[in-house]
Structure formats: C-alpha cells, structure tokens
Amino acid sequence: MSEAKRIKIAIVSDMHCHPESKNSAENQTWLFSDKLRRPTNEHPVENLLEIIDNKKIEVDYVLSPGDYADQANKQGLLSGWSYLKEMALAMKCPEILGTIGNHDIDSRHTYSNYSYEMPRKIRQNFPLHDNVLGKFWDEGYSFIDTDDVQFLIINSCHYHTHYEKSNPNATVENPAIKGKIDPAQLEEIEKILNSSCDHTKIKIAMSHHHPVTHARSNLGEKDTMEHGQELIELLGKFKFDLYLYGHKHDPWMRYVNTTSGHLLPTFSSGSFSATTQVLWANKNNYFHLIEIIKQGSQIATGEIETYTFQNQIGWQQGKDLGFLTNTGFGNHEAIEDISNRIINLFNGRSVIPWKEVIAGVPEISHLTPEKIEMLENDLGSRNVHVGNKIGINPKHLYYADSN
C-alpha cells in the first residue's frame, strides 16, 4: 500500500483590515492597520503569534479566501496582506494561497476607474506566488498541482467590474453584489481536470463567495455565486476533497451532495477579525487548522482544530462560541454504529476517559458538527452522557445502565 498523503493547512479569512476611526461606529474589525500590539488580547494577530510560538504550530499551507481589506481601503489591503505573511512566517509555512474578496477590489471606483488597480499592483506575490498565479487575473482561476495536493483557486470577484451608485432604474444586475463563475470558465476548468486530475492527491477548491446557498441566521441569498451549483457538480465529478469559502462570516462545515453521488465537504471559514457578524449573526472570530489525510484514491479525512477570538480575552479553545474546537469531515459511518462501538468500550465500567474513546474510535475526529450533535443525541438516548460537549474536549463519558 502506498504511503498516505498528509498535509496541514491554516485558514485565515475575512480580516477586513482598515485604519482605526475615531468614530467607533465606522470600525468594522478588531484588526486595524495602525493598531498597537499591546495589550495582546486586543490584537488578533499578535495574540495568535504568541499561541503559534507556544504551541510550535507549523503548517504546509496558509489558505485565505479573501477580504483582507474593508471597503477597498488601500492601507487595509496592504496591511492585511502583511499581517497574513507575518502569521505564515511564524508557522514556518512556505506558501500562502489566497483569492480576493469583494472588499479587496474598488468596484465603487473610490480610488480609480479600474476596480482591480490596487490588488493587481500590490505585487508581493498577492494573492498567489507569481509562479502559480497562472490565469487568476485574466481568466478568474488558477490550478496548482503539487506532489501531494491539487488546488483550484477561483476568483469569484472576476466580474466585479463596477458599481452603479446613482441609477435606480438600472436593468442590469449590479455585478458587485454576488460572486460569479461563468460557463466558459467551467468548460476550461473541466478540460484541465480531465487532463490533470490525480485521484491519489488531496484536491482542494477555494473561492471567496459561496457556491451554494448560505442563508441561515437571516444571512440572505443574493450573494450566492452565480453558476455555483454547476461548479459544485463539476467538483463532485472529480471527487474533490474539500471546498473552502469565506464571505459569510458564519463558520459552517457541511456536506453538499452532487449528482455523481460524491458528498463534497464544504467549509465556510467564518471571519478572522471582522466585527459586524458579532451583532447580526451572533458569531465571533475564528482561526482554523486542518490536517487532511488521504490513502490512495479513497476519500480524504480531515481533523479541524478551531480557535475563537473575543476582544480583551484573546484566542481560546474549549468553549462553545459559535463553532466547536474539534470537528472534522470524511467519516460517513452510521451514527448508530459509532455509538455501538463507543458503548462496547465501557466493558462493565460506568466511566471511561475521553482519550480512551478517541483511541478506540478515532473516526469520531472526522465528524462534522452536525454529526457530532447526532452522536451526542444518540448516546444520550442510550444513557451515555458526555462530561462536556463532544467537540470541545470532554474529559469522560458516563454510562448509566438502565438495568
């Protein structure tokens, strides 16, 4: 049997960096371009750098689905990218793979008449290293093929060319409202995948906008990527292992079914440092580490470790703050079967440590938040109770035998 492919990635999305305003109502982030770094629990980057150093966190790739700046603020864009490079360096990461978000382009023509003037002139390997940039700017995507991974990076803002400020009678839909990928792009991507797709490699796709509806918590549907469903079907055909997006500021790990029968793990990463979602969606800020393993051409499995940021508290784990600390994907075993395997571990005992549970049933680490909740409910119906929620580091399981 060939050696399994294994990578570790960090995800930093939707930083919305900008200079701090004296009018607090105008501030949209905790991460200002002119923010002092003490106290560290008020600075998302500086506080995370301490954790990276203390825990010796190292990753193979940093992935960023865009919105480094807020409202196309020039200094925010420059500083946001610099912050990201600083974090990647601390994690000894050789490669940042990013795309751009709607806040990174000047679609309202505040600074120039060309929406892409700022992002295209940053250079500094933004948002991809020059040697893998490929067709990103001109055709809206890049395909990156490495020894262990294949990445499809999509610029879902490729058509965000202008914004009509004062035309209430306009009949053309505002292109700056939502993401888009068009049939011609899909046709070209399919040709690339037909010739280059390697089912033994981990395959990850990323965009800023969501390709499928993400409207929970009253977040709306108008910004869903146009032709996103066709993109999902294409990725299902080639059995992609993960789809990653930002934009919504609402972390959500779920499977999207495709007509090919492939369940595509689809991850909305949430925001690293924006503040607007705290009020309108009751979500905090998030930083994720994902370890992905793939054996041969089997479906990949992933373990997600999440940190949550709260201002004046800093990054933390072990609490239910909008997204569980430990989740994953790739385990499609029936929940009842997982419960049976857990119950068999008790072997006459009433309490077992969680470390023993994970050692005996390691596939628990590859459950999505939804399936974790299903497992908790199923165990509860069988008189097995968790000392703390599965997904936020419980210490023990308790079995109250009804007999």
Q: Would you give per-residue pLDDT tens digits along the chain (403 residues)?
A: 678 999 999 999 999 999 999 999 999 999 999 999 999 999 999 999 999 999 999 999 999 999 999 999 999 999 999 999 999 999 999 999 999 999 999 887 788 788 889 999 998 999 999 999 999 999 999 999 999 999 999 999 998 876 655 555 555 555 556 799 999 999 999 999 999 999 999 999 999 999 999 988 777 778 899 999 999 999 999 999 999 999 999 999 999 999 999 999 999 999 999 999 887 778 999 999 999 999 999 999 999 999 999 999 999 998 888 999 999 999 999 999 999 999 999 999 999 999 999 999 999 999 999 999 999 999 999 999 998 889 998 999 999 865 5
Same domain, 315 and 349: no
- The verdict on 234 and 383 lying in the same domain is no
In whole angstroms, give the CA distance from residue 112 to residue 114. 5
Q: Which pLDDT belongs to residue 164?
A: 59
What distance lies between CA 185 and its chain's CA centroid? 23
Instruction: Give yes or no: residues 272 and 390 share one domain.
Output: no
* Last residue of one domain, picked from the residues 290, 314, 329: 329
Residue 373's H or E segment, with its range, is: helix 369-381
**Would you state the pLDDT for residue 396?**
93
Domain shared by 134 and 213, yes or no:
yes
Q: Which of 295, 311, 329 lies at the terminal end of a domain, its last residue? A: 329
**Two tokens at 337?**
């079967």
Outline where DSSP puts E strands in 134-268: 141-145, 149-154, 202-207, 242-245, 252-257, 263-268
Report the distance separating Cα 327 and Cα 344, nearest Å.
23
Structural domain of 343: 335-399
CB-based contacts of 381, cutoff 8 Å, min separation 6:
none
Q: What pTM was estimated for this model as a whole?
A: 0.95
Task: Give the pLDDT confidence score for residue 325 in this predicted structure.
Answer: 97
Q: Cα dist. 341→326, 359, 366 in Å? A: 20, 12, 15
Domain match, 354 and 307 both: no
What is residue 113's predicted lDDT score, i.e. its pLDDT? 80
What's the CATH code of the domain at 100?
A: 3.60.21.10
- Paired residues of 61 in beta bridges: 9
Give residues with Cβ within 8 angstroms of 85, minimum separation 6.
96, 124
Same domain, 131 and 209: yes
How far does Cα 390 stand from its chain's mean position? 21
Q: Are residues 213 and 288 in the same domain?
A: yes
Q: Do 347 and 310 fall within a single domain?
A: no
- State how far the alpha carbon of 151 is from the alpha carbons of 23, 143, 234, in Å: 41, 6, 14
pLDDT of residue 58: 98
* Domain end point (choices 329, 350, 367): 329
272 and 357: one domain?
no
- Asked if residue 327 lies in contact with residue 290, where contact means CB atoms within 8 angstroms, the answer is no
- Per the structure, how many domains does the chain have? 2
Query: Is residue 73 within 8 Å of 81, Cβ to Cβ?
Result: no
Ramachandran angles phi, psi of 174, nearest 5°:
-60, 120
Tell whether 158 and 262 lie within a shared domain. yes
* 166 in the same domain as 203: yes
Looking at residue 241, its amino acid is D
Are residues 381 and 255 part of one domain? no
pLDDT at residue number 339: 97
Give the model's pLDDT for residue 380. Answer: 94
Residue 137 and residue 257: Cα distance in Å, rounded? Answer: 30
* H or E element at residue 217: none
